Amino acid sequence: MAFKTLEWKKGKLVLLDQTRLPLKEVYVECLTYQEVAQAIKNMVVRGAPAIGVAAAFGMLLGARESNARTPATFRREMDKVSQTLLATRPTAVNLLWAVERMKRVAEENMGKGMLVVGKKLQEEALRLLEEDVQTNRELGRQGQILIPDGCSILTHCNAGALATAGYGTALGVIRAAFEAGKRIHVFIDETRPFLQGSRLTAWELMKDGIPCTLIADNMAGALMAQGKIQLTIVGADRIVANGDVANKIGTYSLARLCHVHRIPFYVAAPTSTIDLSIKRGEAIPIEQRSPAELTSFNGRRITPEGMRVLNPAFDVTPHRYVTAIITEKGIIQKFFRTGLKKICFPPSYFSPSREEGWEGRRRR
Amino acid sequence: MAFKTLEWKKGKLVLLDQTRLPLKEVYVECLTYQEVAQAIKNMVVRGAPAIGVAAAFGMLLGARESNARTPATFRREMDKVSQTLLATRPTAVNLLWAVERMKRVAEENMGKGMLVVGKKLQEEALRLLEEDVQTNRELGRQGQILIPDGCSILTHCNAGALATAGYGTALGVIRAAFEAGKRIHVFIDETRPFLQGSRLTAWELMKDGIPCTLIADNMAGALMAQGKIQLTIVGADRIVANGDVANKIGTYSLARLCHVHRIPFYVAAPTSTIDLSIKRGEAIPIEQRSPAELTSFNGRRITPEGMRVLNPAFDVTPHRYVTAIITEKGIIQKFFRTGLKKICFPPSYFSPSREEGWEGRRRR
């Protein structure tokens, strides 16, 4: 990668400012957890896995700022930090997942003094970052078998290196297919209103020399009808127990259009995006963003004054329109409920005795 | 109407510049047919019926510029004028229809001298303009019975007063329903890349006080899934013999999404948009517009340099996804081929003797 989406450098979180791409490659430094929260809210950093990692560093910065002398005070302070971070964007579950992981590490080391806690938190945040890149590479390696040679692929939003700590989820699969020597062509939905497609995905793919063509969101259906798209692959912000997928607004329409055109619709996401605590997609909180994203452009108004706007950032795609979910631990097709559970709680998760118990119960 | 999309004023065609709306209400004067052609090409004036009327005035201006002394020279000159006008935008058939009508008038009066030809052409162009407004009002009156009280309507692009000589086709139906006292709410697709929805439809509906909400094109499917849209109505650029409809890019996706959500999908267009010379939608020429519409905004680049772009201005919706076609001569549901033929060639079109012949043949 010729760029780093996020990097920990001398006690600061350095973020590639995604609101300025592709015209300017500007890096922003966050010195406090509030700055991290603001960067997530303003989409300086975005994409479910990337905001998870950013939030982990936000927790670390929050802990470093603390002057707490007792575990109880520290716990209260960290609760405040985590609430601030969680309040930024409600849909991506990776945020919650990363914050919880950091909290657990803090809790486990609470008895060992503040210095140890700080060190352990830094280790954990760096591990999360490193893990995310590895996860994406593995996800890409597994997923690329679904990409036939010579095919045209549609992608929506940006599920690339910019949406993760590196390599990407949906774009990770595309990258892996390209690296495997497959001749592919990517159609990029521009993805209104934030233009993650025309600004970010276009930038990434052009940098890597992967052949690509930009289209407006409303062109996808017509291209499918003309047989110009052989498969669609997107990322996810949250995948719930039954396989329903929350992802960037417009994903649902694409999934339905793929369905009626008999085009495979793949979702690529790390297991950290899976949320088994929610049974069905309807219960996923959907973030509503500012009307300004639709009413103005580069700070200049484009609509009549007083325009009423609906601007949900995400939609939910029911699992029956998802051909397969690609994770770093394997590909799930059909029977998502069982598949997702297996991937999140593999047999090794259970202790031998517990497994035996299971087996025993089954045999009886 | 508080504005005029096109007006003939002291020998000039005055156009409301639609590239500047909604921020500025600027009027542009065309003194030559080349200026009219340029205005159509640059979308200063747009919408199938409106460009038809504009082209008629273009023909008039072309005839006025002529110094031809013989009918043969005049005919050659008018051929050049019509070719220039027809080359501007290939998809909307109204352009061809209006040009042909003007040519016929010129031909019919050719023997009567240039002065008469000029007068007759002006009369015809003004008649076309007046007819278009009347046609839309009648179309609206007929179509509004399909709009239930209290419903939410989705529309794409701008098929309003700005797309016609006044009142509008799809928006004409919506206007008529609103004027009839029905409580309606309109969701407006912003319609990338030219933003006819967020700039033009929004402007028109806000001016008329019709309740409306702007959405991005990719949000329509999610709203349908949530039951927030009860029907969709759009205009058309060309309707062919079997009922296939060419309209603004994105229309096809909406029609398929309506189909899977069991939402009525209506097309409103005057009979001048019907082209029985083409049997099926595949044969409709689709205009490809400049990549710049997607790669830059307000003259500022938004994508990486060298970006490849696909920018078809229209797509074709197969008739099986169209619930009904609303024209000024009636509503056609199912059996589009027969219905369209009947509307274009009503019984009165046939001479009594010919009708008798038909009847006679049938009886035998």
Mean pLDDT of A197-213: 97
The pLDDT of residue B204 is: 97
Do A175 and A131 fall within a single domain? no
- The single-letter code of the amino acid at A54 is A
Q: Tell me, yes or no, whether A256 and A108 share the same domain.
A: no
**Residue A298's pLDDT is what?**
81
In a domain, A329, yes or no: yes
A149 lies in some domain: yes
Q: Kindly tell me if the per-residue pLDDT of B298 is higher than 90.
A: no
| Pair A123, A169 in one domain | no
Same domain as A17, residue A115: yes
Closest to A272 in 3D by CA, of A124, A50, A74: A50
Q: What is the pLDDT of residues A265-307, one digit of tens each?
A: 999 999 999 999 999 999 999 999 999 999 998 888 999 999 9
Residue B353: pLDDT band by 50, 70, 90 thresholds? very low
CB contact under 8 A, A198 and B294: yes
| A302 closest CA partner among B254, B199, B98 | B199
Confidence at residue A289, expressed as pLDDT on a 0 to 100 scale:
96
> Does residue A148 share a domain with residue A121?
no
What single DSSP character describes residue A145?
G
pLDDT tens by residue, A89-140: 999 999 999 999 999 999 999 989 889 999 999 999 999 999 999 999 999 9
Q: Last residue of some domain: B111, B138, B165?
A: B138
Q: Which residues of B touch A217 (CB under 8 A)?
A: 192, 216-218, 250
pLDDT band at A364 (very low <50, low <70, confident <90, very high): very low
Give the one of B202, B215, B298 whose C-beta lies nearest to A310's C-beta. Answer: B215
Interface probe with A: pick from B218, B258, B262, most Cβ of A within 10 Å: B218
Task: Check A214 against B249: CB less than 8 A apart.
Answer: no
- Catalytic site residue from B132, B189, B237, B275: B237
| Residue A220 clears pLDDT 60, i.e. is over it | yes
Q: Which two tokens stand for residue A33?
A: 């957890």
Residues B101 and B15 in one domain: yes
Whether B134 and B59 share a structural domain: yes
Closest CA to A229 of A266, A193, A196: A266
Inspect the interface and report whether the beta carbons of A192 and B218 lie closer than 8 Å. yes
pLDDT value at A362 more than 50: no
- pLDDT number for residue A357: 41
Tell me the nearest-neighbour CA distance from A286 into chain B, angstroms: 12
> Which residue among B122, B138, B154 closes a domain?
B138
- In angstroms, the separation between the Cα of residue A327 and the nearest Cα of chain B is 25
Cα within 13 Å of Cα(A218), Cβ side: 31
Q: What is the CATH classification number for the domain harbouring B128?
A: 1.20.120.420
Domain count, chain B: 2
Q: How far is A169 from chain B (nearest CA, A)?
A: 21
Q: Where residue A361 falls among pLDDT bands split at 50, 70, 90? A: very low
CA–CA dist A356, A163 (Å, integer): 41
- Is it the case that residue B349 has pLDDT exceeding 80? no
Q: Which residues of A touch B300 (CB under 8 A)?
A: 298
Q: Which residues of A are catalytic?
A: 237
For residue A192, list chain B residues with Cβ-Cβ distance below 8 A.
190, 192, 216-218
Is residue B40 situated within a structural domain?
yes
Top-confidence residue, A68 or B162: B162
Please check whether residue B171 lies inside any domain of the structure. yes
* pLDDT tens digits for range A348-358: 655 444 444 44
Residues A53 and A107 in one domain: yes
User: Could you tell me how many CB contacts below 8 A there are between chain A and chain B?
Assistant: 175
Chain B CB contacts of A198 under 8 Å are 294-295, 302-303, 307
Among A253, A300, A308, the residue with its CB nearest the CB of B253 is A253
Same domain as B196, residue B87:
no
Position B362 confidence tier, pLDDT thresholds 50, 70, 90: very low
Average pLDDT taken over every residue of chain B: 94
C-alpha–C-alpha distance, residues B321 and B255, integer Å = 6
Mark yes or no for CB contact B249/A218 under 8 Å. yes
CB within 8 Å of B128: residues ≥ 6 apart: B52, B53, B56, B98, B101, B165
pLDDT of residue B334: 85
Assess if residue B116 is contained within a domain.
Answer: yes
Q: Do A218 and B189 touch (CB under 8 A)?
A: yes
- Kindly tell me if the per-residue pLDDT of A222 is higher than 70: yes
**B190:A192 CB<8 A:** yes
Q: A18 to chain B nearest CA, in Å?
A: 13
* Same domain, residue pair B14 and B51: yes
- Report if residue B155 sits inside a domain: yes
Task: Tell me what the pLDDT averaged over chain A comes to.
Answer: 94
A174 and A127 inside one domain? no
B100-155: per-residue pLDDT in tens?
999 999 999 998 988 999 999 999 999 999 999 999 999 999 999 999 999 999 99
Q: Which of A138, A156, A172 lies at the terminal end of a domain, its last residue? A: A138
Task: Measure in Å the smallest separation between the Cα of B22 and chain A Cα atoms.
Answer: 6
Q: Do A309 and B214 touch (CB under 8 A)?
A: yes
Statement: residue B356 has pLDDT above 90: no
The whole-number pLDDT of residue A348 equals: 64
B202 with A307: Cβ contact below 8 A = yes
What number is the average pLDDT over the span A152-167? 97
Domain range enclosing B279: 142-363
Question: Is residue B339 included in any domain, yes or no?
Answer: yes
Chain B residue numbers touching A294 (CB-CB < 8 A): 190, 198, 214-216
pLDDT tens string A32-80 = 999 999 999 999 999 999 999 999 999 999 999 999 889 999 999 999 9
Query: Which among A192, A203, A212 has the least Cβ separation from residue B217?
Result: A192
Residue by residue, DSSP assigns A336-356 as: HHHHHHHHHS-GGGS-HHHHH
CA nearest to B253 within chain A: A221
| Nearest-CA distance A248 → chain B (Å) | 10
In tens, the pLDDT along A233-256 reads: 999 999 999 999 999 999 999 999
Same domain as B149, residue B164: yes
Supply the pLDDT for residue A360. Answer: 37
Q: Residue A166 is part of a domain; what is its CATH number?
A: 3.40.50.10470
Which residue among A195, A302, A315 places its CB closest to the CB of B199? A302
CA-to-CA distance for A362 and A341, rounded, in angstroms?
A: 18
Across B2-8, average pLDDT: 93
Whether residue B230 is contained in a domain is answered as yes
Instruction: Calculate the CA A227 to chain-centre distance.
Output: 29
Looking at residue A363, its pLDDT comes to 39
- In this predicted structure, what is the pLDDT of residue B364? 35
DSSP calls for B284-332: S---B--THHHHEETTEE-S-TT--B--BSEEEE-GGG-SEEEETTEEE
